[in-house]
Chain A
Amino acid sequence: MTRDEIQSAIFELLKKTAPDTDPTNLKPDENIRESLNIDSFDALQFLVALNDKLGIDIPEEDYGKTATLGSLTDYLEERSR
């Protein structure tokens, strides 16, 4: 998948989780959960949805590496090759 496609998927799923926000406004180094006010439950749901859509599983010890938009996109891009 291309980086753009990955970003689209991320925005789409974030919008589903936090419908009252505009995820496309996120800066690459912003903490996604903080900026969009997403709690731990919704975060887990987001990851489940991401897994369903992209087939990529993010293990718990890697949660720290995927906290920002930039780092999440990087992480997913690496594993989608």
Chain B
Amino acid sequence: MKEFLMPSLGADMEAGTLVEWKKKPGDQLKPGDIIAEVETQKGLIEIEVFEAAILENYLIEEGDKVPVGAPMAKLRSESIPGKIPEKDSETHPIQEEEQATESEGPVPSDSISEETSSKEKPSEEKHRIKASPLARSIAEKHNVDLNNLKGTGEGGAIIKADVEQAMAGQKEAPKQTPETGALKDVMKKKTEPETASKQVIKSRTSTSKPGQQESIRAAVAAAMSRSNQDIPHYYLEKKIDMLAALNWIKETNRQREISERLLPAVLFIKAVAKALDSAPALNAVWDNGLQFKNEVNIGFVISLRAGGLLVPAIRNADTKSVDEIMAALNDMIPRARALKLRSSELSDSTITITSLGENGADKVFGVIYPPQVAIIGFGSITDQPLVHEGMLAIRPVLQVTLAGDHRATDGLTGSRFLQALNNHLQNPEKL
């Protein structure tokens, strides 16, 4: 039995509010299934499970705000074989403890609650509840069932006060129901009924509230400050002649339905993905040392209308065709603007691109999103004079900048990358 914990959806996330459960107890979960919708500073995010399991029961309710890492639900993994036969939890928790001391030790941070789901079901798994030794002895003495108590101690452990409260409240031994059961009584947080929370979701699909924007702003501020503080940035720039690329896009789009048309951004993404072959050290993270990443997941900065940024990732961009990348953008950008991104999309980037688009500054000097080690900035494409085959020509020129983490790479790597990027953009049909 495992617990599904509130995931971290960004380096600076501290807590999330459960808005809606998407699965019920008893449901079979596959990897990639959305189990819940959680609201964070980054907006409403769909949370996925990453393994096959059965949703056993909820540990928190819709509307609850819990810190990252807090248990949200109990999952029963199907792959765990039967262990020690179930003990009746009423008899001698002390004995149970002594067994626990040998195998598991009293360190709270390590223990994962495995649970027999009820006395009705003869489960083969060992019963283990996180409770202080004192709480256990008191519970044993007064015949209090620790099974359904909510712990207020460190890491959710049941402590003396919790047992005494249970005794004072005169709780009978709770029946184990698929829903939260006795937990509902112990947790006094639930306020609105279910319909209200659904309405909250509906209102969120339109423009975001000012409060939401402030927290996105705050999240961006925190990440950028950290980046500036921790990462020694170096900057390289290259001017790229975009005539070939723009012509290719124009030609391609001419022959397509409007809904199939490509934007230059797609070429940027694909070209960056391919250019990383020449400089794999830029597709990496820094965690006390450089850790290369196999996948090329390109984070694409999307600015929100009311301010703030979201950076969802286009996964495996090196293996996607330009059409597939355009499809990914078509799918992701509207969801980003509506603050409806999935947890895996927001936490997977191995490198980031920021593109100002037209009518903006000529070039952009980006700030790296830790723990990534690079960010590529695409400025606006403006007509500029340059020399082509010995003659002066006016060409659409794009100024590309690379900001690199100087702990991870140096100018040579960056230059190589920009060189490769240029080459790819000169041969758009090969992208």
Chain A interface (Cβ within 8 Å of chain B)?
18-20, 33-34, 37, 39-41, 44-45, 47-48, 51, 57-61
Contact = CB atoms under 8 A, between A and B. Distances in A.
A40 B258 contact: no
B306 interface: yes
A60 B257 contact: no
Contacts of B359: 33-34
Interface stretch (B129-137, B259-267, B389-397, B409-417): B259-267
**Chain B, interface size: which category?**
20 to 34
A60 B253 contact: yes
Nearest to B206: A19
Nearest to B329: A41
B67 interface: no
Nearest to A50: B258
B306 A20 contact: yes
Contact of B261 (A20, A60, A61): A60
Interface of B: 206-207, 249-250, 253-254, 257-259, 261, 263-265, 303, 305-306, 329-330, 333-334, 357-359
Given A19-B207, A40-B265, A41-B329, 12 more contacts: A18-B305, A20-B305, A33-B359, A34-B359, A39-B303, A39-B357, A44-B258, A45-B330, A48-B258, A57-B257, A61-B250, A61-B254
Contacts of A44: 258, 261, 263
Q: Report whether over half of chain A's contact residues are helix, strand or loop; otherwise say mixed.
A: helix
B335 to A, nearest CB: 13
A41 B265 contact: yes
B305 A37 contact: yes
Contacts of A39: 303, 357
A51 B254 contact: no
Contact of B357 (A40, A58, A60): A40
A47 B253 CA distance: 13
23 contacts: A19-B305, A20-B207, A20-B306, A34-B359, A37-B305, A40-B263, A40-B264, A40-B265, A40-B357, A41-B263, A41-B265, A41-B333, A44-B258, A44-B261, A45-B330, A45-B334, A48-B259, A51-B258, A58-B258, A59-B254, A60-B250, A60-B253, A60-B254
A58 B254 CA distance: 10
Contacts of B261: 44, 60
A60 B265 CA distance: 16
A37 B359 CA distance: 10
Contacts of A59: 253-254
Contacts of A37: 305
Contacts of B263: 40-41, 44
Q: Which of B258, B265, B333 has its CB near the most chain A CB atoms (within 10 A)? A: B258
A41 B257 CA distance: 16
Q: Which of A33, A40, A47 has its CB near the most chain B CB atoms (within 10 A)? A: A40
Contacts of A51: 258-259
B372 to A, nearest CB: 23
A41 B269 CA distance: 14
A57 B206 CA distance: 27
Contacts of B258: 44, 47-48, 51, 57-58
A20 B206 CA distance: 10
A33 B360 CA distance: 12
B245 to A, nearest CB: 14
Nearest to A41: B333
B353 to A, nearest CB: 13
A58 B253 CA distance: 11
Nearest to A36: B305
